[in-house]
Amino acid sequence: MQLEIHKAIEEKMSKTVNVVNDEFKSIRAGRANPAMLDRITVEYYGAVVPLNQVATISTPEPRMISIQPFDVSSLKEIEKAIQKSDLGINPSTDGKIIRLIIPQLTEERRKDLIKIVKAKAEEGRVAIRNERRWGNDSLKKMEKDGELTEDDLKQAQDEVQKLTDAYIQKIENLLVTKEKEILEV
């Protein structure tokens, strides 16, 4: 049972790190990245679908994203979806391809983005600490029920703390990488 708790905690912490990483990918950092468009959905023949299912997305230049719809008739819908999104980028089209030119970030915008990234990282750290609390509470209950000895409890809690430290470090590494990306000129 003790190992099952460790596995459950590790699985939840891993998912938390993945969520933080996905959040970071969607934050624009002055460089063209197709992942910026992952959250955009388009109405396509009456269904709302992700943009990457109705078009090919590529980055032909460091500051440009090219979107080529599979069906040219969906061009207007894709354009509308991008304009409605929180990207803050106006699409330009030639009738076949949509181009998104990623503007240079201002110093003020960089500072704002770093604040956002730090807040997302803190949310991830809090979630991991909550998992630690859940794990420790489960272990204490097991000890109370006589399933663990006091020594086993201490050892299991140490293992939970090691997992917590490792996953918080992963979030820190993601944060440092994203901050560098945002501050790149």
CA atoms in the 13 A half-sphere facing the CB of 92? 6
- Give residue 2's pLDDT: 58
For CATH 1.10.132.20, list the domain ranges present in the chain. 4-28+106-184
Are the beta carbons of 165 and 31 closer than 8 angstroms? no
Q: What percent of the chain has pLDDT over 70?
A: 96
Reported as a single tens digit per residue, the pLDDT across 54-112 is 888 888 888 888 989 988 888 888 888 888 877 777 888 888 898 988 877 788 888 88
For CATH 3.30.1360.40, list the domain ranges present in the chain. 34-101
Q: Which helix (H) or strand (E) holds 47?
A: strand 47-50
pTM (global) more than 0.85: no
| Measured distance CA(99)–CA(90) in Å, rounded | 9
| Measured distance CA(83)–CA(92) in Å, rounded | 11
According to CATH, the topology of domain 34-101 is Gyrase A; domain 2 (3.30.1360)
| Measured distance CA(75)–CA(156) in Å, rounded | 56
According to CATH, the topology of domain 4-28+106-184 is Topoisomerase I; Chain A, domain 4 (1.10.132)
Reported as a single tens digit per residue, the pLDDT across 6-20 is 899 999 999 999 999
| Measured distance CA(54)–CA(129) in Å, rounded | 39
- Give residue 161's pLDDT: 95
